[in-house]
Chains A and B, each alone.
Chain A
C-alpha cells in the first residue's frame, strides 16, 4: 500500500498548523484544558482504586463484627468456636483495635497476632522502612507515614501513646508504611494484639472483630452466609465486598464527572467547528491553488483531517501532562475533594494517582474523534472549493 503520499500530506498538514496560528492555539488550548480535567479525574480514580486494591489485600477473607443498636461492640471470643465449626474455615483470629486522640488528631491503633495472621507477599510493598511485626514482639509498632512525619519518627524511635485513662504506653517503632497504602494507613499504628488489649483494656474473652480465613477463596461468600446464619446480630464483611465497595464508589464518582464533562467537550467541538468554518479567503484560495496543481478533493480532505488529528494528539498530550502535574504536584484540588468524599476529614496526604495505558489511550480517543467530528463539515466545504478560485484570484 502506498503511504508516501500520506506522509507528504502529513508534512503539509503540520505546516498548515503553524501557518494558521490563531486556529491552532484556540483549538489546542480549549481541548487541552478539557482533557486536563478529564485526565485528572481518570488518574486520581485509577490511583485511588489501585490503593484500595492494595489495602484490601491485607484485609482478612472475612471480618466478623458484632453490632448492638446499630453500633459495633466487642465480640465474644466464644464465637470463634462457632465459626471454626463451619466447613472450609482455615482459622479464626481475633483483632483488637480502636481510636485514640492525641495532639488534636485521631489515630487508629490496630492489634494483630503476627503468629497466626497470614501475611500476604504484598507486605513488601506496604513497608517502606524497617520490618513487619514478628511473633516475639512486645511494645513495638509499625506506623503510617503521616504519623511518622507528624511525630518525626523513624525506625527504632520511641512513640508514647496515652490511653483513655491517660496512662502512657511506650512503643518502639520497627517499621513505617509506604505511600502506596497511605490512604488507609496514614494514621495507623499497628501493634501486637496483646499490646492492644493492654492499651484499650479489652480482656482476652473479647476482641474488636474476628478475622476469618478460608481454605478456598472461592468459598468465601458461602462461608460468610453461613456465619450470618450461625451468629445472629453479626456483621459479616468479605474482603471482596470491601474492595468492591471502594472501587464502586470511586468508579461512580469518576463516571459522574465524565458525564458532566460532556458539556465542556461540546464547547470545544463548537470552537473547533467555528475555527474550521472561519476559513479566510486566503485559505479558500490556497485550496484552489492546490487543486489546480493536481490535488484532489480527497487529498485536501485528508490534509484537513490530518490537521485535526495532529491537533487532537497535541492537545491530548499537553492535557495529560497538565493533568499529571495538577494531580501530582498540586494535589488535584476540587477533584480530590469530590473523589474522596468521605464524611471523615482526612489529614492532608499526597494523592495517589495511576496513569494506566488504557486511560491514556481513551483520552487520546476522546480528543481525536470529537475533533474530527467538529472539523469534518467545514473541512469538506473547504475541500470542495472550485479550483478556478485560484485563476480568478479568490
Chain B
C-alpha cells in the first residue's frame, strides 16, 4: 500500500520563547497508508488535536517535516497548503463548528464556495450528502434547531462534500449519544471502504476496534504504534 502521509521528527511548540512556552508535540515520526483507518489515542492534553492540526496543515510545525504522497507539504507556502486543504482534506471538529447564521444545507455546502460552484449546484451536492447521512429533512433548519447528533452529521457531510482523499476527525463521538455514535461509526466504516484515509483522534473503544493503525500519544510523544491486519 502507498504511504499517504509521512511524519518525520515532527514537533510543535506554542508561544516559543515566551514564559508560557508549551511543547504540544515532540519528535513524532509515523506513517499512514492510503486506505488506513488510523486512530490517535492518548489522555487529554497528550497532543492529539495538535497532531491532527499539523496533519491537516492547519498550523506549521516548529520542527520536522510532513509528506503527502511523497511531497514535503510542510514547507509549502500558505497558499499551497490552502490548495491542498481545499482539494484533499476534510475535517470534522469535536465541537462541530457549524456557522449559526446558515441553514443545514448551507453549512454543508460552505467548502464549495471557493470551488466556483453556483448556488443551485451547491445545494444539489449538499443535499446528496445529507441524504446519505439521513439528514435530508433537516436541510433548511438553522443550526440552533438541530440536535447534537444531527449537527455532528452535518459536520461530517461538510467534510465530505469536496470528496477529499483524507478525512480528519477530532473526537467525533465525544459529544453525542450512543445511538448517534453508532451511526457515525457506520459512516466512518463506509468511508474506509471508499479507499479514503481516515485519521481520528478518539477515546471511543468502538472506533479504536475498527482501526487498522493506532498511534498512542503521551505528553506529545508517540509511545506506541500498532498496525492491525484488516
Q: Quick check: do A and B touch in the complex, using CB within 8 A?
A: yes
Is the CB–CB distance between A9 and B56 below 8 Å? no
Residue from the list B58, B97, B116, B119 in contact with A386, Cβ < 8 A: B58
Closest to A293 in B: B111
- What 9 pairs between A and B have smallest CB-CB spacing? A294-B86, A388-B58, A388-B59, A296-B82, A8-B113, A388-B53, A387-B58, A4-B116, A19-B101
- In the complex, what distance in Å separates the CA atom of A19 from the CA atom of B87? 28
Contacts of B44-60 to chain A: CB distance below 8 A: 49, 52-53, 56, 58-59
A291 CA / B93 CA spacing, docked (Å)? 13
A5 at the interface (CB under 8 A from B): yes
Check if B99 is an interface residue, CB within 8 A of chain A: yes
27 A-B pairs with C-beta separation under 8 A: A2-B116, A4-B117, A7-B118, A8-B112, A8-B113, A8-B116, A11-B119, A15-B102, A286-B99, A289-B97, A291-B85, A292-B58, A293-B110, A294-B114, A295-B113, A295-B114, A296-B79, A298-B79, A388-B53, A390-B91, A391-B53, A391-B56, A391-B93, A392-B49, A392-B53, A393-B94, A393-B95
Q: Are the CB atoms of A292 and B56 closer together than 8 Å? A: yes
Taking CB atoms, residues of chain B closer than 8 Å to A299 are: 114
Task: List residues of chain B with CB within 8 A of the CB of A162.
Answer: none
Per-residue contact bits, chain B 114-127, to A (CB 8 Å; 1 contact, 0 not)? 11111100000000
Chain B residues in 8 Å Cβ range of A18: 101
Cα distance A296–B87 when bound, in Å?
A: 12
Query: Chain B contacts of A292 at CB under 8 A?
Result: 56, 58, 85, 91, 93
Write the B75-98 contact mask toward A (1 if CB under 8 angstroms, else 0).
Answer: 000110011011100010111010
A338 at the B interface (CB under 8 A): no
Partner of A15, one of B91, B101, B111, B119: B101
Closest beta carbon of chain A to B148's beta carbon, Å: 16
Instruction: Point out the residues of chain A lying under 8 angstroms from B116, CB to CB.
Output: 2, 4-5, 8
Interface centre among A5, A18, A290, A391 (most CB of B within 10 A): A391
B170 within 8 A of A: yes
A391 cross-chain contacts in B, Cβ below 8 A: 49, 52-53, 56, 58, 91, 93, 170
Which residues from chain A contact B196 at a C-beta distance below 8 Å? Answer: none
- How many contacting A-B pairs (Cβ < 8 A)? 91
Minimum Cβ distance to chain A for residue B142 (Å): 12
A84 within 8 Å of B (CB atoms)? no
Q: How far is the CA of A392 from the CA of B95 in the complex (A)?
A: 10
- Assess whether A275 is interfacial by the CB under 8 Å rule: no
- Asked if A297 is at the interface of the complex by the 8 Å CB criterion, the answer is yes
How close is B78's CB to chain A, nearest CB, in angstroms? Answer: 6
Minimal beta-carbon separation of A213 from chain B (angstroms): 66
In angstroms, Cα B110 to Cα A286, docked, is: 12
Query: Which residues of B are interface residues toward A (Cβ below 8 A)?
Result: 49, 52-53, 56, 58-59, 78-79, 82-83, 85-87, 91, 93-95, 97, 99, 101-102, 110-119, 158, 162, 170
Assess whether A295 is in contact with B82, with CB atoms less than 8 Å apart. yes
Q: Is the CB of A294 within 8 A of B82?
A: yes
* Residue pair B97, A390 in contact (C-beta under 8 Å): yes
Give Cα A136 to B112, complex, Å. Answer: 82
Per a CB cutoff under 8 Å, which of B78, B112, B115, B158 touches A297?
A: B78
| B99: min CB distance to chain A, Å | 6
Asked whether, in the complex, the Cβ of A5 is within 8 Å of the Cβ of B170, the reply is no
Complex: how many Å from CA A142 to CA B20? 89
Q: In the complex, what residue of chain B is closest to A297 when comparing beta carbons? A: B78
Q: Which residues of A contact B162 (CB under 8 A)?
A: 294
Q: Which of B58, B59, B101, B114 contacts A5 (CB 8 A)?
A: B114
The winner among A7, A15, A291, A293 for most chain B CB atoms within 10 A is A293
Contact B86 A4 (CB under 8 A): no
- Closest A residue by C-beta to B54: A388
| B91: A residues at CB distance < 8 A | 292-293, 390-391
**Contacts beyond the supplied A285-B97, A292-B85: 12 A-B pairs with Cβ under 8 Å:** A7-B118, A8-B112, A8-B114, A8-B117, A286-B99, A289-B99, A296-B78, A298-B79, A390-B58, A391-B91, A391-B93, A392-B53
Q: In the assembly, what is the distance between CA of A16 and CA of B53, in Å?
A: 26
A286 to chain B, nearest CB (A): 6
Q: Which of A2, A286, A294, A298 has the most CB of B within 10 A?
A: A294
Least CB distance, B49 to chain A, in whole angstroms: 5
**Shortest Cβ distance from A21 into chain B, in angstroms?**
11
Which chain A residue has the least Cβ–Cβ distance from B111? A293
Chain A residues with CB below 8 A from B83, complex form:
296
Q: B59's closest neighbor in chain A, by CB?
A: A388
Q: Given the complex of chains A and B, what is the CA–CA distance between A299 and B162 in angstroms?
A: 17
State A22–B76 Cα separation when bound (angstroms): 39
* Interface: A12 (CB within 8 A): yes
Q: Give A347 to B99 CA distance when docked, in angstroms.
A: 60
Closest to A299 in B: B114
- Least CB distance, A30 to chain B, in whole angstroms: 24
Cβ contacts under 8 Å, A4 to chain B: 116-118
Contact between chains at B59 and A390 (CB < 8 Å): no
Near B by CB (< 8 A), chain A positions 292-349 give: 292-299
Q: How far is the CA of A391 from the CA of B116 in the complex (A)?
A: 26
Tell me the complex Cα distance, A64–B154, Å. Answer: 86
Complex formed: what's the CA distance from A19 to B56 in Å?
29
Q: Is the CB of B58 within 8 A of A294?
A: no
Most chain A beta carbons < 10 A, residue from B83, B113, B116, B170: B113
Interface centre among A9, A18, A296 (most CB of B within 10 A): A296
